[in-house]
Chains A and B, each alone.
Chain A
Amino acid sequence: MSIEIEGKSYETDEEGYLANLSDWSHELAEAMARMDGCDLTDNHWEVVNFLREYYEEYQIAPAVRVLTKAIGKRLGKDKGNSKYLYELFPYGPAKQACKYAGLPKPTGCV
């Protein structure tokens, strides 16, 4: 599978996760979100950027429970809870945000 942005094609897996991490860009993240009917706000970006940093440091995309805890530690309890994160990413915070972050599907996610 692949997605098309401004005439360029990017390879993805069958669920829409980018095949090559290095293809990622802000524009690509926004385009992937638009395809899901989601507009990325600053609050979304906070989570997406956090995931990219987490991946850079640990070389994995965290499971949702780990993400929630880590966000709470970094951005405060009012953001480190499932209600807040599911409002931002209704398809599942780790799953959906990892996709826009250009990461593989989270480890511990089936």
Chain B
Amino acid sequence: MSEPDSQAGGTVKKFLYINRRAPHGSNYAQEGLEVALIGAAFDQDVAMAFLDDGVFQLKSNQDTAEIGTKNFSATYRALGDYDVKKVYVERESLESRGIGEDELMPLVYEDEDDDWEEKPLISVVDEAELREIIDQADVILNF
């Protein structure tokens, strides 16, 4: 696989996808996830941030049977396959909603440089750290 930096002629930008909405009441979460995956498939440097009600998107054991929509929460587990390795969750948003870190899906990626060992994707960061992450992004997309 080509390193992002060595891509012939292409500029790699740091994309940050910010997800602020609960997963199943609108299309935003699913669309945001798809756009992030497409960006990653095109070798962009992709990071995702989850804050406000967006933290609900990463909760384990979602079940959409009763509302008759596709349970796309399984797709977050493909992020590692797409080489998305930066998923940030805001600590304050979790705390104010009473969600523990252990209630989030255990997302992982396989580290090619470390004998394919599974490593966690999610980093819980506080508001100040998240502000720093937002500052460093070249392109910010809100969903």
Which residues of A are at the interface with B, using a C-beta cutoff of 8 A?
Answer: 57-60, 62-63, 65-66, 69-70, 107-109
Contact = CB atoms under 8 A, between A and B. Distances in A.
A65 B71 CA distance: 24
Interface residues of B, number: 16
B40 A60 contact: no
B37 A58 contact: no
A51 to B, nearest CB: 13
A107 B41 contact: yes
A107 B70 CA distance: 15
Can you list the 3 inter-chain pairs with the closest CB atoms, starting with the nearest?
A: A108-B41, A63-B41, A58-B78
B109 to A, nearest CB: 12
Contacts, number: 43
A59 B34 contact: no
B1 A58 contact: no
Interface of B: 1, 34, 37-38, 40-42, 70-72, 74-75, 77-78, 81-82
Nearest to B77: A58
Contacts of B38: 63, 107-108
B74 A108 contact: no
Given A58-B74, A59-B70, A107-B34, A70 B41 contact: no
A59 B71 contact: yes
Given A65-B1, A66-B78, A60 B37 contact: yes
A52 B24 CA distance: 24
Given A58-B78, A69-B81, A108-B38, 11 more contacts: A58-B75, A60-B37, A60-B75, A62-B81, A63-B37, A63-B38, A63-B41, A65-B1, A65-B41, A107-B41, A108-B41
